[in-house]
Chain A
Amino acid sequence: MVDPSALFESGPRQAGLAVSLRGVTKVYDNGVTALGPFDLDVVKGEFVSLLGPSGCGKSTALRLIAGLSTPTSGTVGVSQPSGRVRTGPAIGFVFQEPTLMPWTSVRENVRLPLKLAHIPAAAANARVGQALKQVGLAEFADAYPRELSGGMKMRVSLARALVTDPDILLMDEPFAALDEITRFRLNNDLLTLWRDLHKTVIFVTHSVFESVYLSQRVVVMTSRPGRVGTEFRIEAAEPRGEDFRTSVDYAGYCRKVSNALAPLQQKPPAS
């Protein structure tokens, strides 16, 4: 578990950090080292992508930050929300699959985190409505998950992560299973949400194009065990949009990141 008290010493350098991983390793019961040692600092309000091939431990890193898994060694620090009444964990998590409860409506799915935190119904209703509006699904509150398209399910999942108003949003290849058109639209909506809501986003993906388009910083990870390989800072005029996606700068960044990724993928024996 992430020890809530294992936070940062209140040093000036570290005051602005949302997440800090120091020498974190994760060894599974079968002896496979999935991660590490792994170091990562994420500043508050930053949009960081973890990019790497399948099995490089990027999802493991995310689960460690979320506290869904415990590190074998090292420390995982997550900043606590400051100056406001806490109504839930500081973290929202969006899984690779929508991970919705099929037996209940969109509204109840989004309400779940509030229900688990015993928030009174009136306050919860307002926030569920707001979260659904943020992802553009206000009219679909009474639909059941199976009645929605893949993109809409993902939006519900996003609304559920936003409903507790977390400071940090962890996203584990959330759009990997979607078609490109839907994925582009969700990318743009996610950027808008990030700008409006001032969240810290850690986004795991295996798509070079997605990581460059979305992030301020791309962390390329090496495989087996997962470590930080190269880091790229993506500088682009905000707000980013379709102009950026078709720009020469964008293509240049994509080439650089791809090149950083390419040798990493050749290293492990063909498997």
Chain B
Amino acid sequence: MNALQTPLASVESGAPGGNGLRLVRIVLPIVVLAIGVAAWELVVRVNNIPPYVLPGPAAVFQTLVSDWPILSRSLLATLQTTLEGFVAAAVGGIVLALLFNQSKWLEYSLFPYAVILQVTPIIAIAPLLLIYLPQQTAVIVCAWIVGFFPVLSNTTLGLNSVDRNLAGLFQLYGASRIQTLRYLKLPSALPFILGGLRIAGGLSLIGAVVAEIAAGSAGSGSGLAYRIAESGYRLNIPRMFAALLLLSVAGIVIYGVLALTSHLVLRRWHESAFGKES
């Protein structure tokens, strides 16, 4: 009896399987979050841990609300820096890749330095930049340095991944360099460029935070990372957590926006935008 029922049940639940699975994928992380937060609160209360050692989630949330005027201003400052760094990284990476694609000489001359900029830890460069540049500029330059390389290397890869036969077709019809770039290379590279931008978004935030932390002790900045450093000196631990929470949310939103943009742009033609069933 049981042996007969089991496959039947699985068939029934199999019908809405797609939706059910999607629901599970949303619900499970939320459950984990709820358990984690509850355990954290419990540990703090049971052990009577003072807030300057470890604040409970309730205390963090309370600080988030009460310090919102300060924190929101810092959030805006950090977001603005990130955005400026991101735009600079996107434009710089794409333009540099286009130049490299047009001129091998330029690529051979400059590419090693792009790699050097990328592999030198940004946290070590930031203090130097802060000496030579005004603080706001230095922060943006940091965000740019970490962000531009993925855009550059992805765009280069994309521009070099053009279908050989399509390239032959353009040659056959006497396409100019500009036409080939505009109608063939750029559209071919678009999925790669969008992938690079998605990485650069998160990295720009990291660059901005690193520079703010480095500037923290000397500067007059007001970004979220500066708030974290400042709150650390004042042992205002709940505010540190609140600022950290905001940074994390900002990172998630940036990633989400870029992923959505990528999906919307590619949904009609690129494999990545289609589900497994098609």
Residue of A89, A101, A102, A144 near B173 (CB, 8 A) is A89
Main SS of the interface on chain A? loop
| Given A104-B187, A115-B183: A68 touches B269 (CB 8 Å cut-off) | no
- Tell me if B170 is interfacial: C-beta within 8 Å of chain A: yes
Q: Is A88 an interface residue (CB 8 A)?
A: yes
Bound complex: CA A15 to CA B7 (Å): 77
A95 to B172, CA, bound (A): 12
CA gap between A89 and B268 in the complex, in Å: 32
Verify if B160 is at the interface (C-beta below 8 Å from A).
no
Note all chain A residues with C-beta closer than 8 A to B269.
102-104, 144-146
Known contacts A68-B168, A95-B165, A144-B269: A101-B174 contact under CB 8 Å? no
Are A116 and B174 closer than 8 Å at their CB atoms?
yes
A99 and B174: CB pair below 8 A?
A: no
Which residues, 159 to 180 on B, are CB-close (under 8 Å) to A? 163, 165-166, 168-175, 179
Decide if A93 touches B172 in the complex (CB within 8 Å): yes
- Assembly CA distance A144 to B165 (angstroms): 19
Asked if A93 and B169 make an inter-chain contact with CB atoms under 8 angstroms apart, the answer reads yes
Restricting to B42-69, which residues have a CB under 8 Å from any CB of A?
Answer: none
A91 at the interface (CB under 8 A from B): yes
Contacts of B171 in A (CB 8 A): 67-68
Interface size bucket, A side?
20 to 34
| A112 contacts chain B at the CB level, 8 A cutoff | yes
CB pair A112 B174 closer than 8 Å: no
Chain B residues near A112: list those with CB within 8 A. Answer: 169, 173, 183
List chain A residues, Cβ under 8 A from B163: 99
Could you mark each residue 58-70 of chain A with 1 if its beta carbon is under 8 Å from any beta carbon of chain B, else 0? 0000010011100
A224 to chain B, nearest CB (A): 23
Q: Which residues of A contact B190 (CB under 8 A)?
A: 103
Q: B73: which A residues are within 8 A, CB to CB?
A: none
User: CB distance B173 to A67 under 8 Å?
Assistant: no
Partner of B172, one of A89, A96, A144, A145: A89
- Tell me if A121 counts as interface (CB < 8 A to partner B): no
Tell me which residues across on chain B come within 8 A of A97, comparing CB atoms: 165
Residues of chain B within 8 A of A101, CB atoms compared: 166, 183-184, 187
- Residues of A near B166 (CB, < 8 A) are 99, 101
Is A117 located at the chain interface by the 8 A CB criterion? yes
A83 to B173, CA, bound (A): 21
Looking at the assembled complex, report how far the CB atom of A92 sits from the nearest CB atom of chain B, in whole angstroms. 9
- Beyond the given A103-B188, A113-B173, please list 15 additional residue pairs across the A-B interface where CB-CB is below 8 A: A63-B168, A88-B173, A89-B172, A93-B172, A95-B168, A96-B165, A99-B165, A99-B169, A103-B268, A104-B269, A112-B173, A116-B170, A116-B174, A144-B269, A164-B173
A-B contact pairs, 17 of them (CB 8 A): A63-B168, A68-B168, A68-B171, A91-B172, A93-B168, A93-B172, A99-B166, A101-B183, A101-B184, A102-B269, A102-B270, A104-B269, A116-B170, A117-B173, A117-B174, A145-B269, A146-B269
- 9 nearest interchain CB pairs? A99-B165, A116-B173, A103-B187, A102-B269, A95-B165, A116-B175, A113-B173, A103-B269, A68-B168
* Residue positions of A touching B, CB distance < 8 A: 63, 66-68, 88-89, 91, 93, 95-97, 99, 101-104, 112-113, 115-117, 144-146, 164
Binding site for A on B (CB under 8 A): 163, 165-166, 168-175, 179, 183-184, 187-188, 190, 268-270
